[in-house]
Chains A and B, each alone.
Chain A
Amino acid sequence: MRIDSRERFDAAVSEALAGREGHKTEILVCCGTGCLANGSQKVAEAFAQEVEKRGLEAGVGLFTKKTGCHGFCEKGPLVVLQPSGVLYTKVEPRHVPDILDKTVAKGELIPRLLYKDPTTKKPVERYAEVPFYKNQTRIAMRNIGKIDPADLGDALAHGAYAGLAKALFGMTPEQVIAEVESSGLRGRGGAGFVTARKWKAARKAQGERKFLLCNGDEGDPGAFKDRSIMEGDPHSVLEGMVIGAYAVSAHEGYIYVRDEYPLAVVHLTLAMEQARQAGLLGRDILGTGFDFDICVSRGGGAFVCGESSALMRSLEGKTGEPRQKYVHATERGLFDCPTVLNNVETWADVGAIIQNGGAWFAAMGTERSKGTKAFSLVGKVKNTGLIELPMGTTLRHIIYDIGGGILGDRPFKAVQTGGPSGGCLPESHLDDPVDYEKLTEAGSMMGSGGMIVMDDRTCMVDVARYFLRFLVEESCGKCVPCREGLKQMLAIYDDLVAGRGRPGDIERIERLSAGMQLGSLCELGKSAPNPVLSTLRYFREEYLAHIEQKACPAGICRDLTAYEIVESCEGCGVCLKACPAEAIAGEKKALHVIHQGKCISCGACYEVCPTDAIRFFPKAELAPAAAASRGGAS
């Protein structure tokens, strides 16, 4: 049915809701990237087969649904039963009959599939009670994990396109912009530009054609919230874009999706087809005479193409080289026409803002950062996954209450946000609220949502070098400060980690950084020194250890680190199997020994040792130690 009036829209929603009334129990199987890798596809199939075999769908109204990412990837495959809200983790196909017989039929819980709170060690029965979820507020991700992204009816039943209907049937474009302005929404792609301001400029701009773009390039390594939104609830992105197009009066749009996200392309394309058929996209949207259509464009795998002007060049079929910013994209962007570009999450917020009002959104957050923000919480933290929280939440709350603390209860060292343009914040900043200005002041930035937690086994010099290597590869090469500055800086870091650091290196790094910040053409080069400068600011002593003592305190830089096995070794042989260099020898139940000549200092043994019997120390001390261990072995 094509929706061409307010009545028909309401009817479509009622129909979608009625269709769901037969579903007494819904089994939601997470089929996000993480759970798929853990085998959730097989779990979903097993449910579908069992339900069919037993005739449960017609009988007790049982319905299996494959959803997008629930966010708690660590514990996948995840299965949620609705309406009871029971959450089962690490479900395998062999558990399926039990779940149907016990939980669905009799309401009995299966204790070993329940999530166990790592602090209290008690099983948690309901999805909403798990600390990981309990502390979240989901707006951009409101329907992810609840709906089947391949089913428009399901989305409608969960409130999708209600904001669009409200805008098109009852608001002028100016009113839409005013509502977004009152929400205080700022870009979720990194810089935090005020969304309404961009839209206003584009609305005013003169031009026959205007474009509206969605940035789904998500280049920051360690970030995957845009992926989950596009895969798990593509309709929220489409809805936001149509509203935005109406507000700025654009008729053509593109979604630029990262090359590594094939499933996002599939789901977006399908959602677009369904939306077009329903009259929610394309010609004469909702019968109001407004036209707007979208193309999905796959990126070519270049980080710089996330930058707005490079993204536009890429859409034009060119190499993704940024332009200087003296003309704004809102005046001359894609094909030199007025263009609005927003991040996936920004678009996903728009529908909810129109539906609930700007004031509702602005009631959350801090003075200048409103609403909620999605993050991928990853690295050395117990609960890794996707989260969304009100702005202003402290880093400590995120890492310890939601993330459950550091993996293996090791000491916290730093948290990295903002990807290659961001920085590493130490313990002393854990009570900082998540807020655009606060993060920038601290030397990092909001970025597009990666939050990578690091423990004491992370070397900050290595982390800075990691980002430099990333950027050397990804710099487009157009401007000299970025292209050459990065290379020179990396050369210094290569020396630092190899024990060739010299006094004065820190000053050289700082000088190069200043040059790049001043002279680079685009934000890639201008922000490239951030990981470097933030680690220098907070972890200077670690740099000094590399330069002066030729030591890596975290034991990560291989050229500076040696390993040895100490007396508490029980001879279990786990390290011997884990060693890729075959450098460990020892009889079962007897003290093992590392052959220093063969050891490549990878640390694989250290990671696996169950009795903490492996110790690392600066390689510079090796000479006497090696002699001793050789003496002991023979």
Chain B
Amino acid sequence: MIEQSCAPMPPLEEILERYPREEASLIQVLQDVHRAYNYLPCDVLAKVSESLGVPLAKVFSVSTFYKAFSLTPQGKVIIRVCTGTACHIRGATQLIDEARRLLEIAPGETTPDMGFTLKTVNCVGACAMAPVLIVGEKVHGNTKPAKVAKALGVEERHHAH
């Protein structure tokens, strides 16, 4: 069994080399661009449009249709709280509340220092360990609200007893 590669993604030119220059390649190209740049920058989209021969409006429509794409820069660490059914009934709402409280941002937002982006995801296929919180690539299963701070690596909150 092998691990996922975490090699740095080559920039646009190299990405475009990998696929036939046709509309069918659009989503795969955008996926790679998103990984390389951490979001879909406007000028890069314009170049993708030109090189694949797909109108910019269509590129934009695809970029906004799919959840995997963001048109704004993402934080260094992406935090995903699973809101799939199994996680929902095992307390995902409480995890979101706790993450919101700790990071002071709502799902879909990024902290002002660009450190974290908070997202929700509809099931990551680890439902047996619900509720699930993913910090970067690390999956935290059976997460209780009290464990969120540690998983995020942010300061523990203090309690006066």
Query: Could you list which residues of chain A lie within 8 angstroms of chain B, going by C-beta atoms?
Result: 31, 33-34, 36-38, 41, 66-68, 73-74, 148-150, 218-224, 227-228, 259-263, 266-267, 270, 297-303, 314-320, 335, 376, 378-380, 384-386, 416, 419, 450, 452, 454, 458, 463, 466-467, 470, 474, 476, 573, 576-578, 580, 582, 588, 600, 602-604, 607-608
Q: Which residue of A lies closest to B88 (CB)?
A: A466
How far is B148's CA from A209's CA once the two chains are assembled, in angstroms?
Answer: 52
CB pair A318 B1 closer than 8 Å: no
Q: A37-B141, A319-B65 are in contact. List 5 more A-B contacts (CB 8 A).
A: A150-B1, A221-B83, A260-B125, A470-B122, A580-B145
- The reply to whether the CB of B139 lies closer than 8 angstroms to some CB of chain A is yes
CB pair B91 A607 closer than 8 Å: yes
Q: Tell me which residues across on chain B come within 8 A of A607, comparing CB atoms.
A: 91
Q: Which residue of A lies closest to B54 (CB)?
A: A317
Closest 7 CB pairs of A and B: A300-B66, A221-B84, A73-B128, A224-B125, A301-B67, A317-B26, A66-B1
Q: With A320-B65, A452-B89 as given contacts, are A223 and B31 in contact (CB-CB < 8 Å)? A: no
- Which residue in B67, B146, B159 is a CB contact (below 8 Å) of A582? B159
Q: With A378-B130, A577-B146 as given contacts, are A416 and B66 in contact (CB-CB < 8 Å)? A: no
- Which residue in B2, B23, B122, B159 is a CB contact (below 8 Å) of A266? B2
- Which residue in A33, A419, A476 is a CB contact (below 8 Å) of B139? A33
How far is B130's CA from A454's CA once the two chains are assembled, in angstroms?
Answer: 13
- Which residue in B24, B85, B126 is a CB contact (below 8 Å) of A315? B24
- Which residue in A317, A319, A454 is a CB contact (below 8 Å) of B89? A454
Q: Bin chain B's interface residue count.
A: 35 or more
Smallest beta-carbon distance B91→chain A, Å: 7
Interchain Cβ contacts under 8 Å between A and B, 14 examples: A73-B129, A148-B1, A218-B125, A221-B86, A260-B123, A299-B66, A319-B61, A376-B128, A379-B89, A384-B130, A452-B89, A578-B145, A580-B94, A604-B144
Q: Which residue of B lies closest to A469 (CB)?
A: B83
- Which residue in A263, A300, A577 is a CB contact (below 8 Å) of B4? A263
How far is B2's CA from A54's CA once the two chains are assembled, in angstroms?
Answer: 24
Smallest beta-carbon distance A476→chain B, Å: 8
Q: Which residue of B lies closest to A477 (CB)?
A: B65
Q: With A222-B123, A602-B94 as given contacts, are A262 and B85 in contact (CB-CB < 8 Å)? A: no
The B16-41 residues at the A interface (CB cut-off 8 A) are 22-28, 30-31
- The reply to whether the CB of B46 lies closer than 8 angstroms to some CB of chain A is no
Q: Tell me which residues across on chain A come within 8 A of B101, comparing CB atoms.
A: 580
How far is B91's CA from A315's CA once the two chains are assembled, in angstroms?
Answer: 35
The B111-161 residues at the A interface (CB cut-off 8 A) are 121-130, 132, 138-141, 144-146, 159, 161
CB pair A602 B97 closer than 8 Å: yes
Q: Which residue of A lies closest to B67 (CB)?
A: A301
Q: Tell me which residues across on chain A come within 8 A of B90, comparing CB atoms.
A: 379-380
Q: Which residue of A lies closest to B160 (CB)?
A: A582
Interface centre among A31, A260, A299, A301 (most CB of B within 10 A): A260
CB pair B126 A604 closer than 8 Å: no
Smallest beta-carbon distance B59→chain A, Å: 10
Q: Tell me which residues across on chain A come within 8 A of B93, comparing CB atoms.
A: 602
- Which residue in B4, B30, B62, B88 is a CB contact (below 8 Å) of A318? B62
Q: Tell me which residues across on chain A come within 8 A of B86, comparing CB atoms.
A: 221-222, 378-379, 384, 450, 452
CB pair A36 B27 closer than 8 Å: no
Smallest beta-carbon distance A351→chain B, Å: 21
- Which residue in A37, A218, A298, A573 is a CB contact (below 8 Å) of B28? A298
Smallest beta-carbon distance B160→chain A, Å: 8
CB pair B139 A37 closer than 8 Å: yes
The B74-112 residues at the A interface (CB cut-off 8 A) are 83-91, 93-94, 97-98, 101
CB pair B85 A318 closer than 8 Å: no
CB pair B145 A604 closer than 8 Å: yes
Q: Tell me which residues across on chain A come within 8 A of B22, comparing CB atoms.
A: 317
- The reply to whether the CB of B68 lies closer than 8 angstroms to some CB of chain A is yes
Smallest beta-carbon distance B55→chain A, Å: 12
How far is B22's CA from A416's CA once the two chains are assembled, in angstroms?
Answer: 42
Q: With A222-B86, A454-B89 as given contacts, are A384 and B127 in contact (CB-CB < 8 Å)? A: yes
Q: With A317-B25, A580-B94, A580-B97 as given contacts, are A33 and B126 in contact (CB-CB < 8 Å)? A: yes
How far is B58's CA from A219's CA once the two chains are assembled, in angstroms?
Answer: 25
CB pair B126 A452 closer than 8 Å: no
- Which residue in B5, B27, B61, B124 is a CB contact (below 8 Å) of A314? B27
How far is B88's CA from A463's CA once the two chains are assembled, in angstroms?
Answer: 9
Smallest beta-carbon distance B140→chain A, Å: 7
How far is B69's CA from A314's CA once the two chains are assembled, in angstroms?
Answer: 14
Q: Which residue of B lies closest to A298 (CB)?
A: B31
Q: With A37-B139, A37-B140, A580-B101 as given contacts, are A222 and B127 in contact (CB-CB < 8 Å)? A: yes
CB pair B1 A67 closer than 8 Å: yes
CB pair B128 A74 closer than 8 Å: yes
How far is B5's CA from A263's CA once the two chains are assembled, in angstroms?
Answer: 10
Q: Tell me which residues across on chain A come within 8 A of B4, comparing CB atoms.
A: 262-263, 266
Smallest beta-carbon distance B49→chain A, Å: 12
CB pair A576 B1 closer than 8 Å: no
How far is B58's CA from A335's CA once the two chains are assembled, in angstroms?
Answer: 18
CB pair A149 B1 closer than 8 Å: yes
CB pair B66 A301 closer than 8 Å: yes
Q: With A266-B4, A458-B89 as given contacts, are A224 and B24 in contact (CB-CB < 8 Å)? A: no
Q: Tell me which residues across on chain A come within 8 A of B138, comparing CB atoms.
A: 37
Interface centre among B28, B30, B88 (most CB of A within 10 A): B88
How far is B66's CA from A428's CA once the two chains are assembled, in angstroms?
Answer: 40
- Which residue in A38, A317, A600 is a CB contact (below 8 Å) of B62? A317
Q: Which residue of A lies closest to B66 (CB)?
A: A300
Q: Tell me which residues across on chain A come within 8 A of B127, comparing CB atoms.
A: 221-224, 376, 378, 384, 450, 452
Q: Tell me which residues across on chain B come within 8 A of A297, comparing CB atoms.
A: 27-28
CB pair B141 A31 closer than 8 Å: no
Q: With A38-B141, A260-B121 as given contacts, are A224 and B67 in contact (CB-CB < 8 Å)? A: no
Q: Tell me which residues across on chain B come within 8 A of A228, comparing CB atoms.
A: 125
How far is B10's CA from A449's CA once the two chains are assembled, in angstroms?
Answer: 38
Smallest beta-carbon distance B100→chain A, Å: 10
Q: Tell me which residues across on chain A come within 8 A of B128, comparing CB atoms.
A: 34, 73-74, 224, 376, 378, 384-386
Smallest beta-carbon distance A588→chain B, Å: 7
CB pair B2 A302 closer than 8 Å: no
Smallest beta-carbon distance A93→chain B, Å: 17
Q: Tell me which residues across on chain B come within 8 A of A458, comparing CB atoms.
A: 89
CB pair B126 A463 closer than 8 Å: no
Smallest beta-carbon distance A410→chain B, Å: 12
How far is B149's CA from A580's CA once the two chains are assembled, in angstroms?
Answer: 11
CB pair A576 B161 closer than 8 Å: yes
Q: Tell me which residues across on chain A come within 8 A of B58, comparing CB atoms.
A: 318
How far is B129's CA from A164's CA once the two chains are assembled, in angstroms?
Answer: 36
Q: Tell me which residues across on chain A come within 8 A of B23, comparing CB atoms.
A: 316-318
Smallest beta-carbon distance A310→chain B, Å: 10
Smallest beta-carbon distance B105→chain A, Å: 16
How far is B146's CA from A573's CA once the two chains are assembled, in angstroms?
Answer: 14
Interface centre among A416, A454, A604 (most CB of B within 10 A): A604
Q: With A31-B1, A67-B1, A302-B66 as given contacts, are A224 and B123 in contact (CB-CB < 8 Å)? A: yes
Q: Which residue of A lies closest to B80 (CB)?
A: A260
